[in-house]
Structure 1
Amino acid sequence: MSGQQIPSGTPPTPEAARGAFPSERLALAERYVELLATAGVERGLIGPREAPRLWERHVFNCLALASVVPESATLADLGSGAGLPGLALAVARPDLRVTLVEPLLRRTTFLEEVVGELGLDGVEVVRARAEELHGSRLFDVVTARALAPLERLLGWAWPLVAPEGALLAMKGSSAAEEIASARTRLRTLRCPEPEVLELSTPDDASTATVVRVARGIRARLG
């Protein structure tokens, strides 16, 4: 967006963004943040108070996942909302094939507009609840950010995880407590033991606490 007027409310691009995104993708990331800060706020997908910290609190936080997503993976982002983490990862990682799963029309409309404007050919938007995809779709990685407690999330996500795939649930300080509360569901679904990962972007611009439940060895790489 160099040389262009930045709409009011759009946070300036921090220097860390230049290291977080490939140089040829930075303009896409800037436009995505601009859309979040304008249309995203206007449509109620992003709170007005969140707009000034979109880069640090949201985009960079989501990019911390990139280090544990395998090359050329298929990825489903459940309850994608405004596209976090799915769209942020798709912008940074063009090798990924990303499916944004979101049941609400106003959100899928926004997601489709962003995908179209940014020309993200490797991204599809599916208006559905996760349960509606059970039995028909499998993904190498299933992500969710602040969607539901782990116990409930497992029921939605685990049937979508491929044999060598993983669930990556973005959590905060409640991660260990949520794992403890999900013990019965973990046994019922025959899930492997979850891991709590403390991930960060390469330049430590942001960190994220992630619960990873991995079916196979490939999913544990990274």
Structure 2
Amino acid sequence: MHKAASLPDVSRETQERLTCFADLLTRWTAKINLISPGDVPHLWERHINDSLQLVPLVQPGTRIIDLGSGGGFPALILAIAADADVTMVESDRRKAAFLREASRATGCRAHVINQRIESVDLPPAPVVTARALANLSKLLTWTEKLVTPDGYALFLKGQHAADELTDAERDWHMTVTQIPSRTAGGSILKISDIRRV
């Protein structure tokens, strides 16, 4: 049983659902590579708390498309803690099976599309999210058709966020807010008005 780190501003019910998710993820990670085995002891601080940073940046109940959902970060964390209606796009069949089971076990509003991002055809959503998936230019290529005109993307990025922004600005017009992450060296990119140069 995973003991939740103390989570500020999270109800007891939310904490219980996050703990259910953490337990399930730990069990499945022993069979399929959802997170690296070395990360399991640091699951709360490295993955769950990292994803929880996005909760204040989305309206409760918002419809979200999450790209390359993998182990459910940040998608399922937002579905649980922000009561978001999340569509997860995940091409790996086994990871998609985990996401379905975790959605069911935690009782959240989440749907899994087991397809490659390039081939997915979904109505645009007000928010598009991704974490540890691809460089910013590629993320913007995928996001452009999936985000509503007045919507925005939230990308959790590591220490090379500034370099990725510089590269992406050659091909993209966008409005960017860079928010320091609680994860060392990381940042959250909030990006709107996405269009090709």
Could you tell me the TM-score, scaled by structure 2's length? Answer: 0.90
For 1:69-218, what aligned pairs fall within 5 Å after superposition? 69-94=58-83, 96-120=84-108, 122-134=109-121, 136-186=122-172, 191-199=173-181, 209-215=187-193
Contact 2:66 2:88 (8 Å CA) reproduced: yes
Percent identity over paired residues? 32
* Shift in Å, 1:56: 0.5
The structure with more strand, counted as a fraction of residues: 2
* Shift in Å, 1:43: 1.3
Moved over 6 A (4+): none
1:56 matched to 2:45 = yes
* Shift in Å, 1:194: 2.1
* Shift in Å, 1:93: 1.5
Could you tell me the TM-score, scaled by structure 1's length? Answer: 0.81
Aligned to 2:57: 68
Tell me the matched-pair count. 193
Query: Mind listing any 5+ residue stretches in structure 1 that lack a counterpart?
Result: 1-5, 201-205, 217-222
* Shift in Å, 1:23: 1.6
User: 1:109-146, CA deviations, whole angstroms, 9 ceiling, x for partnerless residues?
Assistant: 111111112222x1111112222234x42011100001
Contact 1:158 1:167 (8 Å CA) reproduced: no
Higher relative contact order (CA 8 A, sep 6+): 1
* Shift in Å, 1:20: 4.6
Aligned to 1:203: none
Letter paired with 1:128: Q
Q: Which has the larger radius of gyration?
A: 1
Contact 1:176 1:196 (8 Å CA) reproduced: no
User: 1:159-189, CA deviations, whole angstroms, 9 ceiling, x for partnerless residues?
Assistant: 1011111011110111111000112221xxx
Alignment partners' CA distance in 1, 2:54 and 2:177: 14
Letter paired with 2:22: V
Alignment partners' CA distance in 2, 1:212 and 1:88: 18
